[in-house]
Structure formats: C-alpha cells, structure tokens
Structure 1
Amino acid sequence: MTPNAASPSSGSAGSSGPSGPSRRSFLASTAVATAAVAGGMPLLAACGGSDSTSRGGSSGGKDAGKLLPAYVAGNVVSPDIPAKNGSAIGFTGKLDLANVKTSVPKKLGKGGRLTIMSPFWGSPPKQNNAYYKAMNDLIGVDVVWQNQDGNTYDQKLGAVLASSDVPDVVVVPSWNMGGKIPTAIISKFADLGPYLSGDKVRDYPNLAAIPTDAWRRCIIGGKLRGLPQPSPYVTGIVPLYRKDIFDKEGYEVPRSADEFMSLAKEITDAKAKRWACMDMKWTAFQAFGVLSGSEKPLGWNLVDGKLINRIETDEYLEALEWTRKLFAAGVVHPDAKMGKNAPDPGPKFAAGEFLIYAQNISQWWSRTAEQATQNPDYRIWGMDIFGHDGGDPELWAEQPAGIFAFVNKKASEARIRDVLAVANVTAAPYGTKEYMLTNYGPEGTDYTVKNGVPVKTTQGNNEVLNAYVMVASPAATIAHPDFPDVAKAQVEWQQRMGAFTRKSSFYGQMITEPSRYTNLMNDFEQLEDDITRGRKKISDMQQAVSDWKSKGGDKLRDWYQKLLDDNGSSAN
C-alpha cells in the first residue's frame, strides 16, 4: 500500500460494514487498495451473460497453452520474500530511492494518442496534472483518461459498449462482467495474441513476468483479449484482531470453532461496551472448508465424479449454524445486526468495542497506518484460519486476476503497440523507476522522502490514484516501507494459508453463465444473513437449495459439467 494513500475503509470508495465482506461490499475499496499497491485482491465477480458466450465459455480450453504468453521471470529486482503457495511477493526493507533500477531502458511508445476508460473511486484529477504528464512522457504516448464513477461503472460500461464510440482501451473488473458485457468483449475488443502469445511477449519484459495463471483469465472467446492485474490466489479475507489487547489480557488466538466461541464469551461484556467480534460468516466459511463464494464458477467442484455446488454441502450449513450461534450468544457487536447499512467499523475497532473482524487483507496495513500517530499502542494482526475441529483448515483458491484492460478491435497495430508500451511500464516491478512513477508520481511534486520512506503530498493524494495502475500490474506484491513488519506478516500469513489451499474445478478460468441462470442465486446472501441473525432457520436454507435445484440449479450443473468435459480443468 502506498503510504498516505486513502484508506480503503474510508472516503467515497465505500467500505464493508460490520456485517462482514459481502460479495460486493468491498469491491471498490479493494480496487483502490490494489491500485495503490498491486497487492492482494479478492476477485468478486458476478457472472452472467448471454448464451452466445457460453459455447466454450471458459478460458480453460485444451488449446489455451498456445495462446498464453511465455513466462519469463524478471531479474531487475529481487523480492525480500519470494512468492510461495500462491502468495504475493514481499518487500520488507526501505527502498534505496537514490538507486532505483530501470526496467524499461527506452521508450516503447511512438507518440500516439490513447483514450482509456476506467472505473475511478474518488474525484478524478484534471487531465493535464503533473502525474499524467510525467507518465505520458516516460511511456512515449499521450493517454487521455475517461475516468468513470466506480460505484456505477457497470451502467456506464454497458452504454459505452453498446455504442459505436468505444475508447481505445476499456478497463473491465471481473465483477462488472455480467449481462451482455462478455458478448461485447468478444465483439468489440482486439485479439492480443499476435503481439503477446508465446515468445512474442519478450518484446515487453515486464508483461512477460506476469504469472501465467493471470494471463489465462484473459482468454475470452478463444482469444487472448485482456491485460491483467494479477492477484494472490490465497484467500484475501483475514480474521483481523487487536493483538495489543490480546497480549495485555492474555487472550490466546483460537484454534477451533469451540475455542473461538469460548474466547468470544470471555471477551464480551455488553455493560462495558465490549464485544468479541463483528459478523464472522466469512471466517466460518473458511473454517468449515466451504467452497469459495467470491465468483460463481469457484463455487463448483468435482466430487466423486459429480459437480457439487457450495450451497449443497453440509459444510455450508454448518458454517451458517456456527455463525448463528455467535449472534445468539450475544458476542457479536450490535452494529453487525444492521448488515450492509452499518457504519464503518474502524473507529469502534480502534476504541476496543470489539476485538476481531473478518476483512480484506489490505486493512491490516490501512488500519495500522490510520492509528499510527494517535494510538501508538494499537496493533492489528491477522489470525491464522483454523479448522473448525481444531485440525488444519481446508481453504479454496480465489481467482489469480480480477481486473482487465481491453483494446478496441478497430485499433491499428501502432495503437495496440502504444497500449502495450503503457502496460509494460505499469507492470514494472516494485523497486524500479517505472514502479515509483506509476504508484507515487514525480518526486518533489506528488511525494517526498521522509526517513527513507516515500510519502505522498496532498497533491499526490489527489493525483496518483487509480488510473495507470488499472492498465496492467506486476505480479502481486506487498510492500509497506513505512510498516515493513506488516508487509512481512501479510506475506507470511498468505504463505501459511496457501499451504492449506486447494483449487476447485474451475479455478483460473473466465466463465460466463448463460443469461437464464444469472439471477438464480440472487437471494442466497440475504438468506444467509437472515439465518445467522436468527430471522430465518437452517431449514429455510435447505428449502431454498431444493428450490434452486428445481428452478435451474441441476440444469446449470449439467452446463458446467459439459464445460468441464470439453475444456478440462485448470486446477492442479
């Protein structure tokens, strides 16, 4: 995370309330965090689409290998902590800002003008600001940004792709790939294979260093169409806790569902305005080994020759029942009962009103940075996810990329190569001149250096936001030069949890379900929350699953089975 960047939990980006990270509640905030760091990102897509995209509606085809760019590891910068078990790479030292490396020795851009439409959270800066000018000069292109409100981006995206006036580059997050968007991607955007497949990517070394799994997600309609933002495949949802208070009170980090309940009761004292936790539903899903709910295809897995959906499993019901018991025991902060309308939990977490909550890993750093000066004893940390029975957890992989940039099919070769010149700079690794400019802007204008740490100025906070980073990113990276102990702990947490992480049958594939199934699961998240808060019963979920099967769930299973038979699995 860039020092002094807006906290993902605040501002117009929006945040998830105490109800826990719903499928959409932290999308915008995570995108801001990712844009600021090229860090971990949970990939929360709402898949939908027309039947025309479902013929081979998967990027896991048997011929996909021919389309993928060759992987060539970068050698300009070596991370302090290499990637392992699906983690990000980590940097734990301060940058030697006087000797940053150069990863793009000459301008690849040929001076063309590019229009790029991208989601933006916050107030976009003026086009001719110092950051945009410096980036364009470094790349050798004239990028003109068409920034759109990230909170309503799907509406703008649909209108633009339905028109004849499509920008040169359009950024599409996976969670906006619903409705007719996948069909439009196939019909409106260029095949980048002639420029990037196989050894062709060597012309763009920073793109060649992007992990193969991230590129696989860019295969849509049988062509390599996108430029990715890679992510760790390890879960991005961490049970965060107040380590300073745990240490002071002698609380032990729980290693089972029963231990968590016992600890929660010990912590809670409603009269003293202290509760154990917020909504722990997502931690429950992890502890009980429930398949991922972040993207529809990840919720399916082949078990004994049959595809099973997460909602059909005993583990799913057990996780809901355990979460219900937490609410019933009175150990959950009252704000959590308000669900998505609850206020930002940050201030009450800092005040010690509750000690544990499940949120995106980016908040490990952002909450630390928020409190660093005003609350020096404050220490937020991440619990290892426990198996519900006290054994090792069984975790499920998330998708390895979640935001993509597409190039207009009408673009000339010269224009496409200018886009790739932009991407080759924005995908530069941490510790390079190009990374510094992409993520911090010009030194002295957008950031200054204090004690060896780059710190954004007010101008930098206003200018260096989610623009260029949305075109392409390096391999997922965690680096906090202001709090290196947090960066180290985040990467090591990912590596420990990655050791227990499996890939479900459709891991790594870009899949669009036929439109007739788009709304089939719309009511499940609300029903989950009604059950955990005692408004509905487990039997209501069992009935909902039965209805889901008869209303299309079984036919959808057959559709996925054919996809698996035709394309195979990318999981290994």
Structure 2
Amino acid sequence: MNRRQLLRWTAGLVPGSIALQVLAACAPSAPTAPSAAQPRGVPLAKLLPAHQPIQGPSPELPGSADGLVNPAWMKYPRASVFQSVKEPPGSGADVTVTLQTNNPPWPPFEQNAQWQALNKALNARLNPIVIPFADFDQKWAAIQAGSDLPDMMCTITRPSTPIVPAFLEAKCTDLTPYLAGDAVRDYPNLAAIPTRAWKSALVNGKIYGVPIPLAPYFWWFWVHKEILDQAGLRFPTSAAEFKETAIKVNKPRENTWAIASEGGSQYAFSTVNGLWNSVFKAPNYWAVDADGKFSYVFETPEYRQAMLYAADLFKAGLYHPNSLQYNTLSARTDFMGRKMIFRFDGLQASPYWGGYNAPPMDPPSLITLVPPFSADGVSKAVYYFGRPNFGITLIKKAADARVKELLRILNFIAAPFGSVEQQLIAYGVEGKDFTYDERDNPVLTDQGHAEIGNFGSAWYSLTRPATAYYSPADPQAPGVYQGYEKLLAPLGVEDASIGTFSPTFASKGTILLDGIGGAAQDIIAGRRSSDEWDQVVKDWQTNGGSQIKSELAASYAQLTSG
C-alpha cells in the first residue's frame, strides 16, 4: 500500500474524510440584534448551546445517546444521502476565511471543481487564506496583530497558539446571543455539535467561536499483540505487570524496544498526555475539588509516582533511545515498523493497524488497543478524555445580518455524515472529484486528490460534523473502533478546566509548561535528580501557576453558580 492509499483509508474513518474529528450543531432563533456582553456568573447550563442530534441515514452500528460512543457505518449510505440545508445560506457576497492544512496547495478557483460547486451551493464567493499547519502559530500571531481581519478565522486549541482576550473583545463577535441555549436551533447542524466541544469555545463566560470538534478519544495505548501472543503474554493489568511484560519483549540487539514516546515538555514520556498519569491517577491536566480549588497534574503526589515509574522504565533500558528526539509522526512510523512493541499514540491520522494495511512482517502485525489498567491492578482503571476540539472559528465584528449569514455558512460546513453537503466537502463533485466503486463507496479521482488532498478537506478547519466511523477500504474497521470506544467510555475522566478561562494561562501557559514539563522529562531521562522536583513545582507556582489556579477557580465559580 502506498502512502496516498493509507492516508485515504485513514481519512475514511472520520466524517469529512480528514483526520480531525468534527461536530455538527442545531439551533433555535437568534435575537434580531446582539445583546450586551454576557453578564458574568451565567450558569454553564444556560450558556451552552442546546444539543440536538441530526437524524440522517441510520448507521449499522448506532452510537450511544450521550455521544460518547460514535455511530459506525459498514458501507456508505449512497441511497440515503439527504439534504440537511434546504436553502443556500449566503447572500452572494465575498467571504474571506482562514484555513489551515497539511495538504499541498490546491488548484486555483478556475480549475477547482469543488471550490466552484461549494461557492454555488453556499451562494457566496469564498476567498480562502490557506495557512500551512507548520506555519500556523506565526501566521495567527500576525492576524491578531493586524487591522484587516478575515470574516472568519480558524484557530488551534493548544498552548502554543494563544488567543488574546483583548483581541476577542475588541475585534471578534460575541456569539452568545446567537448560539446560547435554544438560540442555536436556527443552525441545526451546529446544534448537533457535542456539548463538550462548546465548553472550550468559552472565554470569560462568552461563546466566541464555533468549535472544530474532536471525539473524546484522542490518545490510545497500542500494542503489537502478535508479539505478546508469540511470547505467551497477556495484556498487562498493573504497573508492575507492565514492566515485567516490557522486559520480556525488549530486544535492543534486534533493534526492538518495549516502548517509545515523543520528546517534549507536553509529553514527558507520556506522563502528561494521559498514559502514566492515568495509570497512577494523577489529574487529566487539571482537577477540581468540592470546594472549587484547582490542582495541576504536576503538583500531585500521584504525578510524582508516575514520573518515578517512567524513570524506572527508562533506567531499565525499556524506552527506545530516540524517545527524546521523536516527534509523533516519526515515532508512529517506527512503531508501525515494530521498532517498539507498545506505543501511546493519537487516533487522529492513525490507521487501523490491525487491518489489511499492516506492513508485511513475520509474524504478521496485529496492532490493537491495550485495555486501561491501574497502577495497583486492583482499583478501577481510568481513561483520560482528550481535548474537546481541535480549535474554534472566530467571526470578526460585523452587522447582525452578516453574523447570521456567516453562521449559516458554518452550519452548512458542519453538515453530518450522509448528507449532500458533507459529500461535497469531503469528496467534491461526482464525476470530477470522485466516482462510486462497485460497492457504492465514493472514491477520489486524481482531480479529487488535488482539490481535497490526502489529509482531507481544508474547509473542515472551520468546523466539522460529529464523528462517524466509516472505512471504504476495510468495512470491519468502524466496528473495531466503536468497540474500543465502548471499552473506554465508562472509564473516561475529563480535564476539569474545560469551559474555564485563565488569562495568565493564555499568556504564560506554554512557557510554564516548558519549565515544569521539561524538568520532568529530564528527571525521567536521568539528566536531573528527582530531589529537585519539589523546587521545580514551587517555581511553577511562584512564576504564575498559583495565579492560574486562582483564575481558574474564579471562572469555575462563575460557570457553576446558580
């Protein structure tokens, strides 16, 4: 299988055929004009858009009512494709948007059938400013500093891409009057976006953006199960058992190690992003107690245990020696090549490694999920949900009619799997960008690959529909992934800070994480002593951490009042 085929197959697992997961939304009528700024202290239940799923083609494997288990289709619902947006949402005017993508530049408008068809369907002249993903932080900083803003601006939810609150208040539309509560029902596909995604679109108790949603399952613990089977080993069920298993499969002389991580303070040998911190039950980034007091993952005794455990694994030579140099893609490539047996990796842009696309090996590769386990193997295991969205799309300040028009366009883009609109954005124009194969699966043509790209449609960097599993290459894959979700959903724990806001974290969070996460990584790798840890934590608190905790507690109190 070549790289293009692999990426095409992977994309098919998610709505819109791209590696990010998206949500849709439903909405009631918005007021005729925006009200004054949302008052502080509005309870979260009244602030968030009212969730209303869209009824489209029935999946062979339905999801759960709470949205934590996503629906799955074993085949494309060609005969049931429906129109979710009845009227063109635009007024015929120009609409300038920023998009981000890993794809190469697409053909110009005159040669781009999908772009032309999208403009016609929207009754709008879309003028995209396409930003390469690798350049996004720099470009986003320039956009915030500029005076001539695009109509709609995509962002990325991560510490290295801060959104300055003063920028939002001065230049962006407060969408609360249009989307809070039942107001979202004017935009049914937006109302179908899961509630958890809207929580991280809040800033200072206001809705400032439309989410680009993600399913909760961002990081997964994978294993080459064929190696466990060959050695007569079972899945580990405790921290001690994991080390015993890791020692048995660790074979450096054969260029194979037990486990690997990517380098960086945001990972610190998987003690921060959800593996060892969940095993030892340190917080999923942030925890809040009954009194509304926040604790950061690094402050807890459970994190110290996780850090020292990872250090023990490293000292035993069980981590791949490139773990400090790997990025996510290079570590993933080596895992697929079985240079390590266990790997904590994200689902986004990851293939179903146990399927037909596994590279030829002896024994054949069979990569599958490791069921979560607790450190002691007795207490209930937990799984840490990932961030709720990839980013949010902001709308620059504009007249009421213009804001509603732009929201209608986003509502079109958020159309669900199995809709005419989703088909256009994910696959383009039938006969030009895609054709149907003998099993009624849409298959991109060469023109479709050029216009939509191997990493999926860049239009989905504005918003997306809710996750739906579908794979034209391997009909069994959707059921496998849904099975994983059924295992993980009851164990899920959210980051307690979702929905809250700290201006200090927005401005200093990356710098502070580099300090404390970098120190943890150095201790695990034996480059610093664990005796320094208490002082490292105190420095984090003094340099802004305590202020962040105070601001999060105040924001949390506002959102939970009433």
Q: What TM-score, normalized to structure 1? A: 0.82
Q: Does 1:446 align with 2:433?
A: yes
| Alignment deviations for residues 194-253 of structure 1 (CA, whole Å, 9 cap, x no partner) | 4434434333221222223323333334433211122223x4111111233333443311
Alignment partner of 1:252 out of 224, 229, 234: 234
Alignment partner of 1:231 out of 184, 196, 214: 214
Alignment partner of 1:428 out of 383, 394, 415: 415
Contact 1:174 1:402 in 2 (8 A): yes
In the alignment, the residues of structure 1 paired with residue 489 and residue 79 of structure 2 have an alpha-carbon distance, to the nearest angstrom, of 35
- Tell me which residue corresponds to 2:222: 240
In the alignment, the residues of structure 2 paired with residue 568 and residue 354 of structure 1 have an alpha-carbon distance, to the nearest angstrom, of 45
- Tell me which residue corresponds to 1:402: 390
Where structure 1 has 5 or more consecutive residues not aligned to the other structure, the ranges are 11-29, 42-56, 294-298
- Tell me which residue corresponds to 1:171: 154
In the alignment, the residues of structure 1 paired with residue 313 and residue 9 of structure 2 have an alpha-carbon distance, to the nearest angstrom, of 25
Give matches, 1:39-438, under 5 Å.
39-40=20-21, 61-79=41-59, 80-83=61-64, 87-128=68-109, 129-175=112-158, 181-233=164-216, 235-279=217-261, 281-282=270-271, 283-293=275-285, 299-302=286-289, 306-340=293-327, 344-362=330-348, 364-365=350-351, 367=353, 371-372=357-358, 377-391=364-378, 392-410=380-398, 412-438=399-425
Tell me: CA distance 1:269–1:162, structure 2 relative to 1, closer, same or farther (3 Å).
closer
Q: The residue matched to 1:334 in structure 2 has which SS?
A: coil
- Tell me which residue corresponds to 2:27: none
Contact 1:108 1:418 in 2 (8 A): yes
Q: The residue matched to 1:336 in structure 2 has which SS?
A: coil
In the alignment, the residues of structure 2 paired with residue 470 and residue 59 of structure 1 have an alpha-carbon distance, to the nearest angstrom, of 30
TM superposition shift of 1:552: 3.6
In the alignment, the residues of structure 1 paired with residue 343 and residue 206 of structure 2 have an alpha-carbon distance, to the nearest angstrom, of 41
Tell me: CA distance 1:521–1:188, structure 2 relative to 1, closer, same or farther (3 Å).
same
Tell me: CA distance 1:7–1:374, structure 2 relative to 1, closer, same or farther (3 Å).
same
Alignment partner of 2:524 out of 532, 536, 540: 532
TM superposition shift of 1:166: 0.3
Contact 1:58 1:511 in 2 (8 A): no
Contact 2:73 2:468 in 1 (8 A): no
Contact 2:21 2:466 in 1 (8 A): no
- Tell me which residue corresponds to 1:546: 538
- Tell me which residue corresponds to 2:25: none
Q: Which moved more, 1:163-172 or 1:557-566?
A: 557-566
Q: The residue matched to 2:96 in structure 1 has which SS?
A: strand
TM superposition shift of 1:364: 4.5
- One-letter amino acid matched to 2:423: M
TM superposition shift of 1:504: 4.6
Q: The residue matched to 1:89 in structure 2 has which SS?
A: coil
Number of residue equivalences: 525
TM superposition shift of 1:378: 2.9
- Tell me which residue corresponds to 1:50: none
Contact 2:281 2:382 in 1 (8 A): yes
Tell me: CA distance 1:426–1:180, structure 2 relative to 1, closer, same or farther (3 Å).
closer
Q: The residue matched to 1:323 in structure 2 has which SS?
A: helix
Q: The residue matched to 1:147 in structure 2 has which SS?
A: strand
- Tell me which residue corresponds to 2:33: none
Contact 2:99 2:459 in 1 (8 A): no
Contact 2:497 2:552 in 1 (8 A): no
Contact 2:38 2:206 in 1 (8 A): no
| Alignment deviations for residues 392-432 of structure 1 (CA, whole Å, 9 cap, x no partner) | 2234444422311111103x344333322321221111122
In the alignment, the residues of structure 1 paired with residue 71 and residue 91 of structure 2 have an alpha-carbon distance, to the nearest angstrom, of 34
TM superposition shift of 1:322: 1.2
TM superposition shift of 1:338: 3.1
What fraction of aligned residue pairs are identical, expressed as a percent? 26
RMSD: 3.4
Q: The residue matched to 1:203 in structure 2 has which SS?
A: coil
In the alignment, the residues of structure 1 paired with residue 359 and residue 249 of structure 2 have an alpha-carbon distance, to the nearest angstrom, of 27
- Tell me which residue corresponds to 2:266: none
Contact 2:164 2:506 in 1 (8 A): no
Q: Does 1:481 align with 2:481?
A: no
Tell me: CA distance 1:522–1:333, structure 2 relative to 1, closer, same or farther (3 Å).
closer
In the alignment, the residues of structure 2 paired with residue 122 and residue 107 of structure 1 have an alpha-carbon distance, to the nearest angstrom, of 28
In the alignment, the residues of structure 1 paired with residue 533 and residue 329 of structure 2 have an alpha-carbon distance, to the nearest angstrom, of 28
TM superposition shift of 1:323: 1.1
TM superposition shift of 1:354: 1.8
Tell me: CA distance 1:83–1:482, structure 2 relative to 1, closer, same or farther (3 Å).
farther
- Tell me which residue corresponds to 1:20: none
- Tell me which residue corresponds to 1:513: 504
TM superposition shift of 1:138: 2.0
Contact 2:84 2:415 in 1 (8 A): yes
- One-letter amino acid matched to 1:231: L
Q: The residue matched to 1:362 in structure 2 has which SS?
A: coil
Q: The residue matched to 1:436 in structure 2 has which SS?
A: helix
Tell me: CA distance 1:364–1:167, structure 2 relative to 1, closer, same or farther (3 Å).
closer
In the alignment, the residues of structure 1 paired with residue 50 and residue 324 of structure 2 have an alpha-carbon distance, to the nearest angstrom, of 49
Tell me: CA distance 1:403–1:178, structure 2 relative to 1, closer, same or farther (3 Å).
closer
Contact 2:43 2:558 in 1 (8 A): no
In the alignment, the residues of structure 2 paired with residue 58 and residue 270 of structure 1 have an alpha-carbon distance, to the nearest angstrom, of 59
Q: What TM-score, normalized to structure 2? A: 0.83
Contact 1:127 1:144 in 2 (8 A): no
In the alignment, the residues of structure 2 paired with residue 459 and residue 220 of structure 1 have an alpha-carbon distance, to the nearest angstrom, of 41
Q: The residue matched to 2:488 in structure 1 has which SS?
A: helix
Q: The residue matched to 2:504 in structure 1 has which SS?
A: coil
In the alignment, the residues of structure 2 paired with residue 64 and residue 107 of structure 1 have an alpha-carbon distance, to the nearest angstrom, of 33
